[in-house]
Amino acid sequence: MSPREGILFVLSGPSGAGKGTVCKALTQRMPELCLSVSVTTRSPRPGEQEGVHYFFRSHQEFEGMIQRGELLEWARVFNNYYGTPRRFVEEKLQAGYDVLLEIDIQGAMQVKQRFPEGVFIFLIPPSATELQARILGRGTETDESFRQRFNAARTELQMMREYDYVVVNDVVEAACDRIQAIVTAEHCSVQRNLQLLSDW
């Protein structure tokens, strides 16, 4: 039987959906799931390691990666670039690892254009009321920034149609159960297992 190639799973959703919390719980539960490492032009913070937390590159190096098509997605945030290196993802997939990419919706749509064979999962809070509570619960929002963030999230919810799956994040463990079920189902799909016919 041919060695199994991994699958790229892209997890995104509106601000306040709990992407980071679910991602952390999921990788603890599924150590075989490889978390994608981003490349950035910002300076390393204390304790951050090259290739573990980020790949650290100069602005010139990053812009070269853009020009050579070496990024699945990228964005400029304030004065720094952030992006997902294609080579890292493809090497992990070819080695048989599933890769999990936690990213915002804009980035996910870039990945979908460049890597349509990925599996796109949209994470949402259980209700608008819960979304309000999560945003306010951060304790960092002014009235104006809360309104902007909440309205942006409501707009982003309309992007759900662009995804393969939707997962409601009511309880973190339950959301992880649903995503784990998606991972299993994708590995059992006929399209990903046509090689079995040849092996037989």
> Is 185 within the bounds of a domain?
yes
pTM for this predicted structure = 0.88
Three-state DSSP class for residue 64: helix
Token output for 12? 């995104």
Residue 159 is part of which domain span? 8-36+97-199
> Is 61 within the bounds of a domain?
no
> Is 77 within the bounds of a domain?
no
> Is 69 within the bounds of a domain?
no
> Is 29 within the bounds of a domain?
yes
Report the CATH number at residue 174.
Answer: 3.40.50.300
pLDDT band at 3 (very low <50, low <70, confident <90, very high): low
> Is 132 within the bounds of a domain?
yes
Q: What is the DSSP letter of 39?
A: E
Query: How much of the chain exceeds pLDDT 70, in percent?
Result: 96
Confirm if 18 and 125 have CB atoms less than 8 A apart: yes
User: pLDDT tens across 83-127, in order?
Assistant: 999 999 999 999 999 999 999 999 999 999 999 999 999 999 988
First-to-last C-alpha distance (Å) of the chain: 9
> Is 76 within the bounds of a domain?
no
How many domains are there within the chain?
1
> Is 70 within the bounds of a domain?
no
**What is the identity of the amino acid at 39?**
V
Three-state DSSP class for residue 41: coil
Q: Is it the case that residue 34 has pLDDT exceeding 60?
A: yes
